[in-house]
Amino acid sequence: MGAGGPDEDLVVRPGRVVPAHELEERFSPSGGPGGQHANRAHTRVELRLDLTTTTAFPEHERARLVDKFGPVVSVVVDDERSQVRNRGIARERLAGRLRAALVPPRRRVATRPTKGSQTRRLDAKKQRGQTKSQRRRPSLPDD
């Protein structure tokens, strides 16, 4: 897998490719220790994709992505000293986030509570009731 240049499409999964012109890359100094290299070299990469205007996904997938990320999904990478390596990492992370968000959530299968869980729940309620009843002031005996 290549580092992914600015004119290279982003493959999310087979059949889902984000055209290169829809990706927005920004570069800035990464900061932190490193002396003049860190202060002068623009190695920090921010990769953004506007989900409201992309043509890479059908409407139902785009709606799922917007629900998950909002109108714009972005990743910021400043792990390496090289802009090229950071760009490749950013592209991989963005593709991974999109790929993970496109997996439909599993449906919950309704099950009945087990006999043991019902017993444990009722025992806990009884114990809690006893604890609270012991906190009450003792009643005065009637004369």
Q: Quick one: DSSP state of residue 21?
A: G
| Range of lowest pLDDT (61-65, 92-96, 116-120, 137-141) | 137-141
Residue 81: inside a domain, yes or no? yes
Per cent of the chain over pLDDT 70 is 91
pTM of the model: 0.70
Burial (0-12, 13-18, 19+ Cβ within 10 Å), 92:
middle
Q: Of 78, 72, 61, give the one whose Cα is nearest residue 27.
A: 78
Residue 44: inside a domain, yes or no? no
Q: Which domain holds residue 10?
A: 1-27+50-105
Residue 66: inside a domain, yes or no? yes
The 10s digit of each residue's pLDDT in 7-44 is: 689 999 988 899 999 999 999 988 777 677 767 888 89
Each residue of 20-59: b (16+ CB within 10 Å) or e? eebbebeeeebeeeeeeebeeeebbbbbbbebeebebbee
Domain count, the chain: 1
Residue 79: inside a domain, yes or no? yes
Residue 96: inside a domain, yes or no? yes
